[in-house]
Structure 1
Amino acid sequence: MSSDKNKIRIVIADDHTLVRQSIVQMLRQQGDFEVVQECEDGVSLVQAAIQKAPDVILMDISMPKMNGLVAIDKLLDNRPDAKVLVLTMHDEIEYMHALHTSGARGYVLKESSTEQLSEAIRVIHEGGTFFPNALTQSLASGKGSSTDDTSILNNLTRREREVFHLVVAGRATKEIAVLLDMSYKTAENHRGRILNKLQVSNTAELIRLAARKGLLE
């Protein structure tokens, strides 16, 4: 077994306790992984990622308090070098594009094998990326560019993407301001710019657009 100093340090976030504990147990059995903290929501994940400075952050997307996509943006603001691996049940290509754009280094489905997850962690730790073939092919064909209608998030700034995901998750402007540590007026301005950029008139239309693009949890 590897010595602790040679192990890949991991912070894991998933709001389903049994799922999270099963993954932790599996990782510990590999011998070269060390889980330094478990989190059950996006807020605690961001805090742990900053405080623990793990080698790899393994996280779900659908989490309480702070959506995983927002959490990625927020932690990358504080730790631009953070290596994020998303472990999720969402297999829509639009979701993969959104995560790739947000700065995640990899994307693994929860139905994947232990070997695939372990490989993804090691690849990302070494500086590589690990995405499904469907995304690789989509990017190669140019469908991941900002000119493609399905990749609507490419037209938004990182801060606007944070607000976008909170809006479509049903958060009020006041809640968004608190979660993202900004004034109410700033949050409202971001919401307005998002509507303008995506050419929708109101929040209901924005949510319908997100649903059509597979960007709702």
Structure 2
Amino acid sequence: MAVATPTACCTTNLGHPNGRGPHRVTDHGDAGAAEDGRATKAEPDPRGSIRPRLLAGIAVVLAAAGIAFVAQAVLEPGAGDGTDLSELTFDRFDGGAGTLADYEGTPLVVNFFASWCPPCVREMPDFQEVFEELDGQVVFLGLSQDQSAQAALNLVERTGVTYDVGWDPDLEVYEATGSIAMPTTALVSPTGELVDTFAGALDAESLVEFIEDGLGIAARP
């Protein structure tokens, strides 16, 4: 598991106000990038998970001490390298459901993003650049963690990305990788197994290095 630099991550999985998904936390490196520039208080997770509430408490303590809280992608017990992700489903924007099995046979890069996450938005042009450079050696799939599919569609239109993008409304794929940060990028083998995850934003050079190290793809944009 790779960990981002201190300013790279903008969220931890503390639960949306409606009780689902990654909860937004202001990225102070982008003044005004979050909707009102303020961190939003997390609501309790109705599914009864202790882990998100514990992480929320840690974040509050660190913030009070003036220490930068670095969100990290942590693999849940049993969700390490080799976890089979092939049967996980997501919603396609062109209609119907997709599964990661649809991409079997080719290495897959899955990027978890949200329109309210400034680092997510910043890295999307870099992902597009690497997607074009690798030219089919690796398949890219962006999965929105937004509360609505329309928010993701608007972002895709604004950034101009052309790789596959879908919606992960129940966080099925996101949670299967054990991620608690936004953005997070996961590498999946041609047989549908989890290879590695990276928490935080990636520029084109760092993304290529991550792909080369994890999937053995030799390419430099």
- Whichever structure has more helix as a proportion of its residues is 1
Normalised-by-shorter TM-score class? under 0.3
- Scaled by the length of structure 1, the TM-score of the pair is 0.28
- Scaled by the length of structure 2, the TM-score of the pair is 0.27
- Whichever structure has more strand as a proportion of its residues is 2
